[in-house]
A = this chain, B = another copy of it.
Amino acid sequence: MGLDKRKRQVLYAIVHDYIQTAEPVGSRSISRRYELGVSPATIRNEMSDLEEMGFLEQPHTSAGRIPSDRGYRFYVDSLLRVPSLTVKEVTFMKQLLSSRMRSAEEIVQQLAKLLSALTSYTAIVLGPSESQAKLRQVQLVPVSSRQIYLVGVTDGGLLLNRMVEIPSGVDAESLASLQQWLNQRLAGLTLEQIKAQDLLALQDEMQAGIDLFETVMDELLGSVNQQEVGKVYLGGTTNILNQPEFHDLHKVRAILELLEEDALIWEAMAQAAGKGVTISIGAENALSAMQECSLITAEYRLGDGLIGHFGLLGPTRMNYDRVLALVQGVCETLNQLYGL
- Please give the residue numbers on chain A whose beta carbons come within 8 Å of chain B beta carbons, in ascending order: 100, 102-103, 137, 139, 141-144, 147, 149, 151, 153, 157, 159, 161, 163, 165, 237-238, 241, 247, 249, 252-253, 256-257, 260
Q: Beyond A141-B153, A165-B100, is A249–B241 a contact (Cβ under 8 Å)?
A: yes
Closest to A138 in B: B141
Closest to A248 in B: B249
Q: What would be 13 A-B contacts, judged by CB atoms less than 8 Å apart? A: A102-B147, A102-B163, A103-B163, A141-B151, A141-B153, A142-B153, A143-B153, A149-B151, A149-B153, A238-B253, A238-B257, A238-B260, A241-B256
**Minimum Cβ distance to chain B for residue A146 (Å):** 9
Q: Across the interface, which residues of B come within 8 angstroms of A163, CB to CB?
A: 102-103, 159
Q: In the complex, are the beta carbons of A157 and B143 less than 8 A apart?
A: yes
Q: In the complex, are the beta carbons of A141 and B139 less than 8 A apart?
A: yes
Copies assembled: 2
Interface centre among A151, A163, A238 (most CB of B within 10 A): A238
**Minimum Cβ distance to chain B for residue A163 (Å):** 4
Q: Across the interface, which residues of B come within 8 angstroms of A161, CB to CB?
A: 161
Q: In the complex, are the beta carbons of A159 and B165 less than 8 A apart?
A: no
**Minimum Cβ distance to chain B for residue A191 (Å):** 18
**Minimum Cβ distance to chain B for residue A280 (Å):** 23
In the docked arrangement, what's the CA distance between A141 and B102, Å?
Answer: 14
In the docked arrangement, what's the CA distance between A151 and B153, Å?
Answer: 13
In the docked arrangement, what's the CA distance between A149 and B104, Å?
Answer: 13
Cβ-defined partner of A238 (8 Å) among B153, B241, B256: B256
In the docked arrangement, what's the CA distance between A137 and B159, Å?
Answer: 20
**Minimum Cβ distance to chain B for residue A38 (Å):** 41
Q: Across the interface, which residues of B come within 8 angstroms of A143, CB to CB?
A: 153, 157, 159
Q: In the complex, are the beta carbons of A144 and B165 less than 8 A apart?
A: no
Q: Give 7 closest A-B pairs by Cβ, nearest first.
A: A144-B157, A102-B163, A238-B256, A241-B253, A143-B157, A139-B141, A238-B257
Closest to A113 in B: B260
In the docked arrangement, what's the CA distance between A107 and B165, Å?
Answer: 16
Other than the given A137-B142, A142-B153, A149-B153, 5 more pairs (CB < 8 A) read A139-B139, A237-B260, A238-B260, A249-B249, A256-B256
Cβ-defined partner of A141 (8 Å) among B103, B137, B142, B252: B137
Q: Across the interface, which residues of B come within 8 angstroms of A147, CB to CB?
A: 102, 157
Interface centre among A143, A147, A163, A253 (most CB of B within 10 A): A143
Q: Across the interface, which residues of B come within 8 angstroms of A257, CB to CB?
A: 238
Q: Across the interface, which residues of B come within 8 angstroms of A151, CB to CB?
A: 139, 141, 149, 151
Q: Across the interface, which residues of B come within 8 angstroms of A249, CB to CB?
A: 241, 247, 249, 252
Q: Across the interface, which residues of B come within 8 angstroms of A241, CB to CB?
A: 249, 252-253, 256
Q: Across the interface, which residues of B come within 8 angstroms of A157, CB to CB?
A: 143-144, 147
In the docked arrangement, what's the CA distance between A159 and B143, Å?
Answer: 8
Q: Across the interface, which residues of B come within 8 angstroms of A252, CB to CB?
A: 241, 249, 252
**Minimum Cβ distance to chain B for residue A323 (Å):** 21
